[in-house]
Amino acid sequence: MTIRGSGVGGFAKGKAFVAIDRGQRNPYEDIPPGSVLVARTVFLSDSVMINFGNVVAMVLEEEDLTGHPSLLARGLGIPAIVGVKGCLTDIINGDRILIQNQDVIVNPDLTAVEEFDRLRRESDPQLSLDLL
């Protein structure tokens, strides 16, 4: 499934961590390394609760009306795809996610992964440098 949004595009690959506030102390607790954070929205005040060292991208249901998600994403150097209606119901914890520019690809097949890798290499030639 491919979903298009807007926001800060780029390339990222990871597993979904769906953060839904159900009244618990911190809905962003225990984000594993290499996660794509899926949430309704992220405010600047939320950023103190999120371990962004483990987040490779954000997929947010609400449009970026405040500018907070884009500001955070640009500062962290990660993609933030916003306005993805239904992402909280269509994406579950552990789903494999590819962010490709403004597209969110959920549980991609091998062809989609190969295309992602090709486009990512073409967009950033330094990714293919052999530094050994």
Which residue(s) pair with 87 in the sheet?
Answer: none
Q: CB of 96 within 8 A of CB of 85? A: no
Pairing of strands 10-19, 96-101: antiparallel
- Residue 55: its pLDDT value, please? 93
- Quote the CA–CA distance of 70 and 58 in Å, as a whole number: 10
How high does pLDDT run on average in the chain?
85
pLDDT beneath 70: ranges in the chain: 22-24, 65, 125-132
Q: What is the pLDDT of residue 126?
A: 57
The per-residue pLDDT for range 55-91, each reduced to its tens digit, is 999 999 988 767 788 888 888 889 999 999 888 989 9
Domain ranges of the chain: 2-107
pLDDT at 63: 84
CATH homologous superfamily of 2-107 equals: Phosphohistidine domain (3.50.30.10)
At 45 the pLDDT is 82
Q: What would the two tokens of residue 80 be? A: 């933030």
Give the pair of three-digit tokens for residue 13.
């690959």
**DSSP 8-state class, residue 1:** -
Tokens of residue 61, six digits: 């249901």
Q: Is 7 left (phi over 0), alpha (psi -120 to 50) or beta?
A: left
pLDDT at 125: 63
